[in-house]
Amino acid sequence: AEYQSWDSVDPAELFTAKTLRKAQQGSVVKHLQVESKSVDFIVLWLDCDREGENICFEVLSICQGLMKSGGGAGETSNYDRVYRAYFSAINPSDIQKAYQKLGKPDRNQALSVDARQELDLKVGVAFSRFQTRYFQG
């Protein structure tokens, strides 16, 4: 709310503004929450790019703490039962290869997406405001 005013906020201030992530909600989130309570393992089959890695951690933020207990408490103890499938085509042989070589989600790739999204937001908003002010005189 403090950065809403185009007149009183210098666009340069937007680069140091804190960004907030809202908790996910909706029918997909509710479905994931219900289903994750009955699972021993999670295998994430998402696009094999940075955005896919980022979505992996969004899904895990919803599901991991709700999984059946692995003997410990909370998300950390369940991570050993989380896997990531890496594949480049949706055909039987590639799917079987991916299943046989399950890996772990890559947090660094996911964090790079978070950083890019924040930069896109801040640069986009600041540039829009700067350009609007410039052309308005």
What's the pLDDT score for residue 52?
95
Q: What is the DSSP string of 63-85?
A: HGGGSPP-SSSHHHHHGGGEEE-
Of 16-25, 87-96, 111-120, which gets the smallest average pLDDT?
16-25
Per residue in 54-85, pLDDT (tens digit) is 999 999 999 998 998 765 554 456 889 999 99
Give pLDDT, residue 75. 46
The amino acid present at 105, given as its one-letter code, is P
The predicted pLDDT at position 71 comes to 53
Confidence at residue 82, expressed as pLDDT on a 0 to 100 scale? 95
Q: Nearest CA to 45 among 114, 124, 117, 102?
A: 102
pTM of the model: 0.79
